Amino acid sequence: MQSVACRMRVLWANIVGANYRRANDRLRAMPDTRVNTWNDLFPWMKLDSPRPIDPALIRTKRILITGAGGSVGSALAHEVASLDPDVLVALEASEQGLFRLTQGLRSPHTAVLGSVGDEGLVRELFETHRFDLVLHAAAYKHVPLLESQPFAAIANNALATRNLVRLAAEAGTSTLVLLSTDKAVEPVNMLGVSKRIAELATLDAGFTVVRLGNILGSAGSVLPLLQEQLDRGEPLTVTHSEASRYFLTMPDAVQLLLLAATEVRGPQLFVPEMGDPILIRDLAERMLASSNRSPRGILYTGLRAGEKLHEVLIASDEKVQILPGSPLRAVITPQPDSHVLGATLDALTSAVQSRNLSQLLDAIHLLVPAYQGQPEVRA
């Protein structure tokens, strides 16, 4: 005769099994609204064939990738791993992000859980591995969120980059490439101004910056958010009917970063030739047209804190140089005196440590006078 406990376990197993079967039935009956790939849905966004990377330029290198568990960082890690580098170190602050990367990255690599802002850790990595190449993809990137987190934005995007480039220069690293954003151009938000300061610190240290637009399908970007709304049968939210952005595919972003890393030396700022910006409304309409759900239309919500209606890749005080045969264009950008930059970065460090917003903004305006943002601190 079964004990009460045993009968209860059997009953619970039957209930769980029945619920599991019903959930599976509902999942099979649910229409599939997921696009095959963003590249298939928006094929015109692919750039004119960036030159393939010569594997020999990577094979002998000792490489550090920061933010290696993020969308771009993990794509870089997989591409670099496929080129068989001498050493590949993947640095990531998110435990879950690093775990996902290590589960999928089968090539030999060293996974390190930690922040670029951890000076002791980063110094140890440079002393141990003597990197030839650093690909710096680590950053906070969500505009509305960072408007209420100015200290975190500056600490992670600007000051951690200063820490990284300084240690790289001290260690004799020959090449470092910062992944920047078009939001750093004439910035109106904390994301943009923190990345602009990161650009200045990187160039001052003698390294390279690649400034990109929105990357299709990257985590937290507009297309995955629209896809989630589509899957839930909700209207697709767009901030403004005329809002536009520059877009490129993830494979193109990776190739452009590696192109800059393998063919460039010295302090250089690059932007790709990306064609015309694209209306977010047009993306939403195309996703609705490609869905097999009953469309719920588009809901215009208004621009959020720190958002621009349009982004640009080149500031009004910058000049562009065409590079024959290259998908990259060189940008000549104003650069502050090294001593002024260093002192101001010290002031930013002090402001972050004391959480003094007035001091933080004063220091920001010394480096980026055009910045007119109004961040709000939320403890």
| Residues in Cβ contact with 339 at an 8 Å cutoff, skipping those fewer than 6 apart | none
β-pair partners for 110: 89
Q: Does the active-site annotation cover 183?
A: yes
- Provide the 8-state DSSP code for 45: G
Q: In angstroms, rounded to a whole number, what is the distance separating the alpha carbons of residues 271 and 334?
A: 15
> What's the first-to-final CA gap in the chain, in angstroms?
60
Sign of CA dihedral 232, 239, 376, 219: positive
Catalytic pick among 46, 61, 141, 183: 183
Q: Which helix (H) or strand (E) holds 359?
A: helix 357-367
Burial of 172 (0-12, 13-18, 19+ CB in 10 A): exposed
Q: Which helix (H) or strand (E) holds 372?
A: none
Q: Which amino acid, 45?
A: M
Helices (H), strands (E): how many in the chain?
A: 15, 15
Q: Which amino acid, 316?
A: S
Q: Which amino acid, 270?
A: F
Q: In angstroms, rounded to a whole number, what is the distance separating the alpha carbons of residues 102 and 111?
A: 7
Answer for the pair 168, 134: CB distance below 8 angstroms, yes or no.
Answer: yes
Answer for the pair 189, 306: CB distance below 8 angstroms, yes or no.
Answer: yes
Sign of CA dihedral 275, 277, 280, 286: negative
Q: In angstroms, rounded to a whole number, what is the distance separating the alpha carbons of residues 73 and 184?
A: 19
Q: Which residues are catalytic?
A: 183
